[in-house]
Amino acid sequence: MNSAILTVEKLSKQFFLHEQQAAIPSCAEVDLQVFPKELTAIVGPTGCGKSSVLKCIYRTYLPGAGRILYQNEAGHTTDLAQASDHRVLELRLRDIGFVTQFLHCLPRKPALDVVSEPLLLRGENRETARDAAADLLRLLNVPERLWQVPPATFSGGEKQRINLARGLISQPRLLLLDEPTASLDPDTSERVIDLLTTIKAKGVGMLAVFHHPELVRRLADRVVELIPQKTLCHE
């Protein structure tokens, strides 16, 4: 069997609400693995910490405890729970991609540039990057009249397609997906499923949260179930 791209061991994170003297556990003692050419799905009720696990791996959140072992192409392992910000940014450039439910950055750039930017940051030339962006936008059913428009005014589904295209363009080794099809129409959802299946077959390892259980059945090779945590109140 291939060795894991990602091994998460006993990952925990909690938030302290100082006014209420309460600790809100967002995820606790999570163990999981992601392999090349496979998709691991995280399931569980709302609030059980699915998004928090992804954010800890991408280091949007600093993990509280546990290990997040990422293995690069050369077989070198980095613990993302301990890695420097510099190392994390380096890995985000080539190795680790994250497609969230929402397009967080809404720059005044045309959609085509928003999508091609990750390739430009990696040193690709503008024309190659724009061609790749155009291919993806076409594949995801984004009408050509929108390509030169900044995505700030797009509908939820259109923004999500820009978000997906931006996350997929650089073909990371590890792809984190947080409800990537939640606001898409059925036709575009099918295209996304096809695209994810193709990318998976090329060797990408994926860790995903899906809105619909049907997508877990269709795409997941492994399923990790998170258990809701109780809020601990201190006296």
Ligand X SMILES: Nc1ncnc2c1ncn2[C@@H]1O[C@H](COP(=O)(O)OP(=O)(O)O)[C@@H](O)[C@H]1O
Contact assessment for residue 42 and residue 208, using Cβ atoms and an 8 Å cutoff: yes
Which among 103, 73, 82 is positioned nearest to 205, based on CA atoms?
A: 73
**Which is nearer to ligand X, 44 or 110 (by Cβ)?**
44
The 10 Å Cβ neighbour count of residue 33 is 18
What is the enclosing helix (H) or strand (E) of 71?
A: strand 65-71
**Which is nearer to ligand X, 48 or 115 (by Cβ)?**
48
The dihedral through the CA atoms of 35, 38, 43, 46 has a sign that is positive
Residues 45-104 that bind ligand X (CB under 6 A): 46-52
- Residues 203-222, one symbol each (x = binds Mg ion by CB under 5 A, - = not), give --------------------
Residues 28-67 that bind Mg ion (CB under 5 A): 50-51
Question: Out of ligand X, Mg ion, none, which partner does residue 143 contact, by CB within 5 to 8 A per kind?
Answer: none
State the nearest-atom distance from the C-beta of 179 to ligand X, in Å: 8
| Amino acid at residue number 135 | D
Residues 6+ apart with CB under 8 A from 100: 163, 178
Residue positions counted in the chain:
235
- Residues 10-29, one symbol each (x = binds ligand X by CB under 6 A, - = not), give -----x--------x-x---
Question: Out of ligand X, Mg ion, none, which partner does residue 15 contact, by CB within 5 to 8 A per kind?
Answer: ligand X
**Which is nearer to ligand X, 152 or 223 (by Cβ)?**
223
**Which is nearer to ligand X, 12 or 116 (by Cβ)?**
12
Question: Out of ligand X, Mg ion, none, which partner does residue 46 contact, by CB within 5 to 8 A per kind?
Answer: ligand X
Question: Please, what is the angle between helix 126-139 and helix 111-121, to 10°?
Answer: 130
Q: Is 34 exposed, middle or buried (0-12, 13-18, 19+ CB in 10 A)?
A: buried
Helix (H, G, I), strand (E, B) or coil at 1: coil
Question: Out of Mg ion, ligand X, none, which partner does residue 49 contact, by CB within 5 to 8 A per kind?
Answer: ligand X
* Residues near ligand X (CB under 6 A): 15, 24, 26, 44, 46-52
* Residues near Mg ion (CB under 5 A): 50-51
